[in-house]
């Protein structure tokens, strides 16, 4: 018999033990339940409870209050939902009906306002704004170019000074071509 077969037989044996124990436990619990139920039934037959009418009425009032509160809340939610849906429907219909009237009046007002615009002032404003933007954009570039030009000018000046210095300090050499 292999190890796996031994484990299988052991698992089956443990399963039978578990089923037997669960059946035994269920039987014991059922016996206890029946005993408790019989005892409660006997006690309820022998004990007479006289609850004052005030306590009974308070309990009834509390239960009725809970039920009424639940029904009122449910109905109020349903009513609010219906009113909201009706309002949304009415608003939508009203907007659809008044759309053409509003559109015509807005169109007229826009035409009227556009007729007041002075095109020459508008052109001048656009030119001024464009000029400001171009100046601000190229201002940094021009500063950079100016710095480069000044640096190059200094370099040329050094070269000329160096040439002039070398010409004044060295004796002239004359080469004859033969």
pLDDT (0 to 100) of residue 86 = 87
Structure tokens at 78: 């349903």
- Which pair of structure tokens corresponds to residue 111? 């035409």
pLDDT at position 130: 87
| Residue 160 pLDDT grade (very low, low, confident, very high; cuts 50, 70, 90) | confident
CA distance 45 to 41: 6
- Give dist(CA 6, CA 15) in Å, integer: 14
Q: What is the pLDDT of residues 32-86, one digit of tens each?
A: 999 999 988 888 788 777 767 888 888 888 998 888 888 888 888 888 888 888 8
Q: Where are the domains of the chain?
A: 7-48, 50-113
pLDDT exceeds 50 at position 176: no
Band (pLDDT 50/70/90 cuts) for residue 171 is low
Q: Whole-angstrom Cα distance, residue 75 to residue 81? A: 10
110 pLDDT above the threshold of 70? yes
Token pair for 9:
């037989």
Distance CA 129, CA 136 (A): 11
Give the residue, 47 or 129, on which the prediction is more confident.
Answer: 129
Q: Which pLDDT belongs to residue 31?
A: 92
From residue 32, alpha-carbon distances to 35, 40, 43, 69 in Å are 5, 12, 16, 41
Q: How far is CA 87 from CA 58, 91, 94, 138, in A?
A: 42, 6, 10, 59
Sign of the alpha-carbon torsion through 14, 17, 19, 22: negative
pLDDT of residue 178: 44
């Amino acid at each position: 018999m292999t190890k796996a077969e031994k484990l299988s037989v052991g698992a089956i044996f443990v399963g039978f033990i578990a089923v037997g124990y669960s059946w035994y436990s269920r039987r014991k619990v059922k016996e206890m339940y029946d005993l408790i139920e019989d005892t409660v039934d006997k006690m309820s037959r022998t004990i007479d409870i006289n609850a004052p009418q005030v306590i009974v009425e308070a309990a009834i009032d509390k239960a009725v209050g809970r039920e009424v509160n639940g029904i009122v809340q449910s109905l109020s939610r349903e009513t609010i939902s219906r009113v909201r849906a009706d309002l949304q429907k009415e608003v939508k219909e009203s907007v659809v009906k008044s759309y053409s009237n509003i559109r015509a009046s807005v169109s007229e007002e826009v035409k009227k306002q556009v007729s007041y615009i002075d095109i020459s002032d508008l052109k001048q404003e656009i030119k001024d704004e464009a000029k400001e933007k171009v100046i601000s954009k190229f201002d940094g570039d021009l500063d950079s170019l100016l710095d480069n030009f000044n640096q190059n000018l200094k370099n040329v000046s050094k070269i000329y000074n160096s040439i002039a210095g070398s010409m004044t300090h060295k004796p002239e050499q004359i080469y004859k071509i033969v």
